Structure 1
Amino acid sequence: MTKITRVSLASPPDGGWGWMIVAGCFLVTICTRAVTRCISIFFVEFQTYFAQDYSQTAWIHSIADCMTMLCGLGFALCYSPAIAMVGKYFSRRKALAYGIAMSGSGIGTFILAPVVQLLIEQFSWRGALLILGGFVLNLCVCGALMRPITLKEDRSVPEKNHDGESQKEDCKQASPYSPLTKEWTETRLCCSLQQEYGFLLMSDFIVLAVSVLFMAYGCSPLFVYLVPYALSVGVSHHQAAFLMSILGVIDIVGNITFGWLTDRRCLKNYRYACYLFAVALDGLCYLCLPVLQSFPLLVPFSCTFGYFDGAYVTLIPVVTAEMVGTSSLSSALGVIYFLHAVPYLVSPPIAGWLVDTTGSYTAAFLLCGFAMVFSSILLGFARIVKRMKRTQVPFLVKDSEPKLHLWTNGSVAYSVARELDQKDEESLAKVRTACNLT
């Protein structure tokens, strides 16, 4: 087998082979996220064939999305590593690179939605799934494009002290089963885990993780129920599939334009706020959806929701990288996408249960909308609190400075601190003694 050469660089190249990594990630998102979204088109076919209600049929899409984010199975082995690789190769153009890479989801949805509808009509849903399975095999080609890279910050490890070096030498000479070897191994393992997953203790990351749970709950059901909802309000099958295509193509525009805009100097420092803005607007779109009951009204909805869906999906890796750094990006993204799993698993069945119980999509869509708006509000509130603490720090430092008082001895004035530690008090006593002598 060909030996893999790991490229070693001081900083991300922001180009070169990195564009091939972007192309590989682009194809990965087509073969994973776009194919998963197209299950919405199969929804009515599954419901009819298996004679099941909404909540039961929704488990098909939920389990596929959940396993992609939860394990190292199937799509998950391609999706998370491909996204992390883009972050390794880009720094200055990171948002643009992610915008292009993540636009594969929108392009794939735009192309596959009508194609899948035609495949179902020509070959039934079973034949359409077989053809999609063959298309997904292109993930092997995407994997062949991934070339490992080692950056300067990845190689930077804390310098070992003399005791650490001597302990390492002793471990080399000791038996592999000796207590010394075991202790050294455990220490190294703890240090490695602390370095790799230390971001889990960061307050910013914890808040982001909690907000992701609500955001993921809201974003998933639309791709399951948009087509059934459109059919329920009198839209034809081809028009309903076309709504998914519109959603996909505008998703592309959101991916690329938002990535390009947030790379500009005027917005580069406001990526966090742009992410909040995009999530909140998608939530507001959800809240308006129950009153949109015709194809001409659903088209603007698909455009708006698709654009801001592409926007915040592009910014998730960027915001995460700003919080944890490039060296921990792969692990942090793994945690973030892992947190998507549970909401992805339960939100479509819960929405289906609400539809079965109420006989309407209104409750399901409103719940999803409020979840996304709350996700944005939570992050915004956390950022405001953090900034307030930062502004209070200078005042606290100023207030905590030792108060000065003045006393005189002849024509000489001395200013000393009111609160001093033991060492400073001794120095002060010496000064006073010298003053008395003079």
Structure 2
Amino acid sequence: MPHEGEATPRISKVQDRGWAWVVLVATVLVQALTLGFPSCVGVFFKDLQYDFRASNSETSWFPSIMTAVLHAGGCESILVERFGCRVTVMLGGLLSGVGMVASAFSKSISQLYITAGFITGLGSCFSFQAGVTVLGYYFIRRRALANALASTGVSIGLTLWPLISQYLLDEMGWRNTFLIFGGVMLNCCVCGAVMRPVPDKPPGPTLKSCPEQSREGACLSNGSTSCHEEPLHPSKRAACFQTLQKYLAFDIFCKNKGYQIYTIGVSWMVIGFVLPLIYLVPYATLNGVEEHKAALLISIIGFINIFMRPMAGLLSGLSIFTGRRIYLFSMAAMLSGLSNLICAISSEYSVLVFYCIVYSVSMSVIGALIFQVLMDVVEMDRFSSALGLFTILESITILIGPPLAGLLVDLLGHYRYVFYASSFFMISAALFMGLSFCTMEAKNKLKETNKPPPETPSKGKYTEVPTELDHDRNGPPTVVYVTSI
């Protein structure tokens, strides 16, 4: 096979070396521009509320729509398979830039929902998810390291966006600031341009995915292929079922108790998880803290995340936590909920700084483990479809959380109740996940003592699933680390 002999040397030159590190830097910037961006929304909260004469609930729909659409994958994976990571990242950057420029001319809060909320959120989703996906093709042996380094982009964005936003807001107002943000978001197109496809071995003649070997272009391992697997004559119903089965793992949700518990627990948890990032700045300014010092609070959270996320990832990799990461994750959620009580009790700036430190530590552990625990619970060959359903349910609860908190502020008249509500969701989710997995493990141990151990572990049992890929395989990865929180 002459094609194989030609492709293999090219792969060895780009994977885990050379241009792969350029792609990693581009991915760090993409995550800083996309995932870190919603952290600055709280800086504009009071100005938007004043200009549009909107209530807290109405104003909070803007960041909630943006964050929910940003975390909702699925459509992005279809674009990656059809057009590749490079085109998807660039399309996302274009949408994000257009959305922010259009939002600068919004005449009502409802128009802001569409422009900055949906369009910018959708573009950020495309760029972020595709940017993380391409790392799986450029890194094989150092994939874990690459994803850990890429996740620091989120922390960098959390650190810089609030400070830049507050400065620009004071100098030129929120509309001109959004215009500048539109131009900044277009840098995702530049980052996407360097994510060129990785050539892969063309499949052998026995595979059905390339019925025409003579077609122009080779199969590319970043999801952009010139050959597609096409069933002969599938019915529309069967094709729809196959699509849902591929991207939404309803069968796993019904059969795998661990996945079921974890998905419900995280979906409940994120209702309260995102609230401090949106309401911390308005809460501080309402209690007499200067606007620059209030914006600095979010930057403190991001700065600590830069160092704590890699440390949390290394800590969770210790052998003592093998099979017990869910409990470490539940403890971090519990700590986050308890820290919100500190913020609600006192609004003094020194207390708020202490709160940001504690909250950032818990946030780092949650962000580092949220998808690692999912890999432990679900078989790796079904992880991508399990991740699709997981992120969709997560984005739905993210969408409803901030508006409900805004309604609570409108009814009770103070932002401290938002932090009480956040504590309730975080603590209850932590108790639900921790106790449920503990009970499930106890039942499994009891069953094992009463009967011979099965040859293969039950799907409903929480087990440690190996995540290391075969180093000799150069094909597309089954799964990539996605760090969306």
Compute the TM-score of the two structures, normalised by the length of structure 1.
0.74
Counterpart CA distance in 2 for 1:91 and 1:323 is 23
2:38 aligned partner: 36
User: Cα gap change, 1:41/1:190 in structure 2, threshold over 3 Å: closer, same or farther?
Assistant: closer
Q: 2:360 aligns with which of 306, 314, 327?
A: 306
Instruction: Name the residue aligned to 1:61.
Output: 63
Distance in 2 (alpha carbons) for counterparts of 1:303 and 1:275 = 18
Q: Given the alignment of the two structures, is residue 371 of structure 1 paired with residue 425 of structure 2, yes or no?
A: yes
| Structure 2 residues without counterparts, runs of 5 or longer | 1-6, 76-121, 212-230, 454-485
CA distance, structure 2, for counterparts of residue 382 and residue 91 of structure 1: 35
Q: Which residue of 2 aligns with 1:26?
A: 28
Q: 2:343 corresponds to which residue?
A: 289
Q: In the TM superposition, what is the alpha-carbon distance from 1:282 to its structure 2 partner?
A: 0.9
- Residue correspondence of structure 1 range 91-102 to structure 2 within 5 A: 96-102=145-151
1:177 equivalent in structure 2: none
Kept after mapping to 2: 8 A contact 1:98/1:314: no
Q: Which has the larger radius of gyration?
A: 1
Partner of 1:244: 298
Matched residue SS, 1:75 = helix
Match in the other structure for 2:313? 259
CA distance in 2 between counterparts of 1:26 and 1:136 reads 14
Q: What letter matches 1:369 in structure 2?
A: S
Is there any run of 5+ residues in structure 1 with no aligned partner, and where? 169-179, 400-438
Aligned residue for 2:289, secondary structure, equals coil
- 1:397 lines up with 2:451 in the alignment: yes
Identity of aligned residues (%): 29
Structure 1 residues 298 and 32: alpha-carbon distance in aligned structure 2, compared to 1, 3 A threshold: same
Contact 2:340 2:423 in 1 (8 A): yes
**Does 217-226 or 51-60 show the bigger shift?**
51-60
| Paired amino acid for 1:363 | Y
Q: 1:70 touches 1:337 (CA, 8 Å); kept in 2?
A: yes
Following TM superposition, by how much is the alpha carbon of 1:396 offset from its aligned partner in structure 2, in angstroms?
2.1
Match in the other structure for 1:321: 375
Q: CA offsets per residue over residues 376-396 of structure 1, 9 Å max, x none?
A: 222212321231132122322
Contact 1:109 1:244 in 2 (8 A): yes
Task: Describe the SS at the equivalent of 1:42.
Answer: helix
Residues 338 and 184 of structure 1: CA distance in aligned 2, closer, same or farther (over 3 Å): closer
Residues in 1 aligned to 2:173 and 2:127: alpha-carbon distance in whole angstroms: 28
Q: CA deviation at 1:253?
A: 2.1
Question: Structure 2 matches for 1:31-430, cutoff 5 A?
Answer: 31-70=33-72, 72=75, 73-86=122-135, 96-146=145-195, 182=233, 194=245, 197=249, 199-201=252-254, 202-397=256-451
Q: Which residue of 2 aligns with 1:409?
A: none
Alpha carbons of structure 1 residues 236 and 208: separation in structure 2 relative to 1, 3 Å: same
Alignment check: 8 A CA contact 1:33 1:105 kept? yes
CA deviation map 1:383-427 (0-9, x unaligned): 21231132122322169xxxxxxxxxxxxxxxxxxxxxxxxxxxx
Distance 1:28 1:218 in 2: 26
Query: Which is worse superposed, 188-197 or 333-342?
Result: 188-197
Q: Which moved more, 1:236-245 or 1:42-51?
A: 42-51
Q: Distance in 1 between matches of 2:196 and 2:380?
A: 17
In structure 2, relative to structure 1, the CA distance for the partners of 1:6 and 1:369 (3 Å cut) is farther
Q: Which moved more, 1:389-398 or 1:372-381?
A: 389-398
Instruction: Please give the alpha-carbon distance, in whole angstroms, between the structure 1 residues aligned to 2:9 and 2:123.
Output: 27
Distance 1:361 1:6, change over 3 A: farther
Q: Which deviates more, 143-152 or 287-296?
A: 143-152
Q: Size of the alignment, in residue pairs?
A: 373
Amino acid at match of 2:394: H
Q: Deviations over 1:255-290 (max 9, x none)?
A: 121122223444454433322222221111112221
Moved more, 280-289 or 236-245: 280-289
Q: Is the 8 A contact 1:218 1:368 kept in 2?
A: yes
Deviations, residues 144-193 of structure 1 (Å, cap 9, x unaligned): 344667999xx9xxx99xxx9xxx9xxxxxxxxxxx95369987886786
Tell me if structure 2 keeps the 8 A contact 1:95–1:314. Answer: no
- CA distance 1:192–1:249, shift in 2 (3 Å): same
Structure (1/2) with the larger helix percentage: 1
Contact 1:103 1:310 in 2 (8 A): no
Q: 1:91 deviation in Å?
A: 7.7
Distance 1:193 1:231, change over 3 A: closer
SS in 1 for 2:451: helix
Which piece of structure 1 moves more, 61-70 or 215-224? Answer: 61-70
Determine the C-alpha separation between the residues in 2 that align with 1:37 and 1:188. Answer: 39
Whole-angstrom CA distance in 2 between matches of 1:6 and 1:194: 33
Partner Cα distance (2:31, 2:9) in 1: 25
1:323 and 1:32 mapped to 2: Cα distance?
28
Q: 2:27 is aligned with what amino acid?
A: C
Cα distance in 2 between the residues matched to 1:353 and 1:75: 27
Distance 1:383 1:117, change over 3 A: same
C-alpha displacement at 1:48, in angstroms?
2.0
